Structure formats: structure tokens, C-alpha cells
Amino acid sequence: MHKIVKPIVTLVGAGPGDPDLLTIKGAKALAEADVVLYDALANDELLSYAPKKALKIFVGKRKGCHAYTQDQINQLIVDNALTYGHVVRLKGGDPFIFGRGSEEIDYVESFGIPTFVVPGISSSIAVPASQGISLTKRGVSESFWVITGTTSARKLSTDVALAAQSSATVVVLMGMSKLHEIVAIFKKESKGEIPVAIIQNGTTPEEKIGIGTINSIQQVVADKNLSSPAIIVIGEVVGDSKKSTGFYKELKSISNKQVLYGKE
């Protein structure tokens, strides 16, 4: 007798990079997977939670690597669910924070396939926290913006200009290629002295960080050779962080000294 396939799709947030920051519910979903479709930003170690016999398909986007289009990924999810049963779509961070998770859910549900979502720990919050940077702090910051640096039109979000006018902490994801534009916007608001942290590969062993101000951060990036994937954090909370205060003051007084955050 043929096994009756019951298609089901679970979107699982893989967290910010450290495999230990996967949720217990996410690990349970992976353990029940027949197929895992995973992104570049989902740590490969997480695949060990899935059964050995489960089909594991890399559908992420890395430089120099073939990238599936979103339409192809959507179709792969549906095809594998109808063929094998339970598909776990493993996405970096949280699926609904600039992860196109809602698009995938909408497409899958259009075929009548049941879907479930397991939220993930978003890098926008976890990566600054891991460096002692609190996005909100009484008397310092009453709110925070999380903004994409690259919209679907490949442009910087216009929300950055609005955020620069506020006193909120600003977190920019996927914004390294637009750093010069971001700096220009904050300078226009006379915020050249606002502290900035750029954290590359946050919560992983490859983590690197640079701390400066709007005026100095581009030089810091050049000196430390920082690049994507990285998170940009702008706001007084950066300089206020207990973990970063010493580095921040030292950087202001010795601008040409290279400071590795938490690393020798």
C-alpha cells in the first residue's frame, strides 16, 4: 500500500545565527519534517534536528551561488508538500521580519495546504542585545524602528529619513550597501555625533563589530573591513551600553585605533 501523504507546511524562524537560539517549538517542528527547505541565513547545524532521512534542500541566496527566485521557492514548497508530506521552511531570524514569510504562506494556502508558523528570534533585537545594546532604555530611548535598508525596488526605505527625525533607536537590516546614504540622512538632521554600532555575523563565531558615530562610522567600516550580513544600530543606547562604553570613548579619543568588540 502507498503511504497517504498529508501535505503540511511549517514556517520556522531559525533565529539570528547561533544555533542555540532556535526555539524549542522550532526544533520539534524540524524533528517531524519530511523535507527541509533552508536559507543561507539559517545555521546549517540546525539541520541536525531533522530526521536523517528527511530531504534537505538549500534555497538561499549567497553571492556566487545560484539563487532560487521567490516564485521558484514558493513552488518548491508546494511540490514537496504534495509529494512528501510535512515541509519545514527554515528561514533566518523571524519569518515575518523582512523574510517574505507571509508571501510563502499565502501561496501555500492557495493550494489548500495547512500552514503553521513558528516565530523566530529576530536578529534585529537579538544581535544588539548580545552586545549589551538595549534598543529601549528609560530616559534614553522610548521606541525603536526596524527598517530594511534595501526595498523590493533595491532602494533605501524612505522610513529612514522619518526615523532620523525622531529620538528613537534605529535598526537597519540589509543596509550596508546603503551606508553612505544613511549617514547623509542623519547628517542632514545634524546628528553627526549620534553613536552607531555595526555588527556583522552577529551571535556567531565570525562576529565582528565596529563602533563609532554617524561622522566616523564609514571610516570604522573601512578600517575593520566590515561587510554584509550586518546590522546597523543608530542611537544614544549604543554609547550608553555598559559593554560598549569603554570602546566607544576610546574610539572617539583614538579614532585610528582598531577596536574589536569582545574579541582579541
Compute the distance between CA of residue 117 and CA of residue 252 in angstroms, rounded to an integer: 44
Mark whether 91 is an active-site residue: no
Select which of 18, 34, 94, 174 is catalytic.
Answer: 174
Distance CA 33, CA 43 (A): 17
- Exactly one of 28, 61, 243, 249 is catalytic; name it: 61
From the list 46, 99, 37, the residue with the least C-alpha distance to 73 is 37
Question: 200 near 209, Cβ under 8 Å?
Answer: yes
Instruction: Identify whether 61 is a catalytic site residue.
Output: yes
Question: Which residue in the list 18, 34, 39, 240 is annotated as catalytic?
Answer: 39
Please report, for residues 40, 127, 151, 240, the alpha-carbon distance to residue 62 in angstroms, rounded to integers and kept in the order given.
6, 21, 18, 35
State yes or no: is 1 an active-site residue: no
Cβ neighbours around 98 below 10 Å, total = 20
DSSP state of 140: T
Active site residues: 39, 61, 174
